[in-house]
A and B are shown apart, each in its own frame.
Chain A
């Protein structure tokens, strides 16, 4: 099976702009989670989508939003970008919630977002 793919891989934006990142999960996986990774804060959970519904949400402001489509592909959007939003954004898919015995997450390569 093909792995988790994320596009774009690199992105440069300026403060105040908005950005949309895309994630295609492993075929058959219905759960998609998003994480923000920064040197100072480590890996922080943003949200999880399952069958087009947000199932879990981390402690991030409303500027961070996401959605999932019927084919399980997911997008996350960050509006009114701030310098502190510069980070590696990771997407992970899993088969949990679909009767799977384990909830191992499989990660994509990430999108490196730089906000100037």
Chain B
């Protein structure tokens, strides 16, 4: 399977703390994207990082990409209760097919 793996599978933190989740993938990629999914709903696009980029920021989000290790990390700083959701990484290759990771379930405790 070319599906990625997220780590950890579940994460529980206090409001105000930082949350870090990791994604590993198996094949070469064009870009990697992170999505958020609130319970039972559609996915919301958070951020895209291209294969020639190493780090990207968007508001409280920071994404890193290490293509040599085939891994990426998503950091959410100063977490809020509203950040409670599942987070997925998705990779896109030259075949234009998306592969989603298994997801990290984040719970932010108020």
Among A45, A88, A103, which residue has its beta carbon within 8 angstroms of that of B40?
Answer: A88
For the A-B complex, the count of residue pairs with Cβ-Cβ distances under 8 Å equals 55
Q: How many residues of A contact B (CB 8 A)?
A: 25
Interface size on B, residues (CB 8 A): 24
A48–B95 Cα distance when bound, in Å, is 11
Interface string of B90-110 (1 = CB under 8 A from A): 101001111111110000000
Q: Are A104 and B97 in contact (CB under 8 A)?
A: no
Binds B, one of A63-71, A77-85, A105-113: A105-113
- Which B residues are in CB contact (< 8 Å) with A11? none
User: Is A33 on the interface with B (CB-CB < 8 A)?
Assistant: yes
A contact set with B: CB distance below 8 Å:
4, 33, 35, 42-45, 48, 55-56, 88, 90, 92, 96-97, 102-110, 112
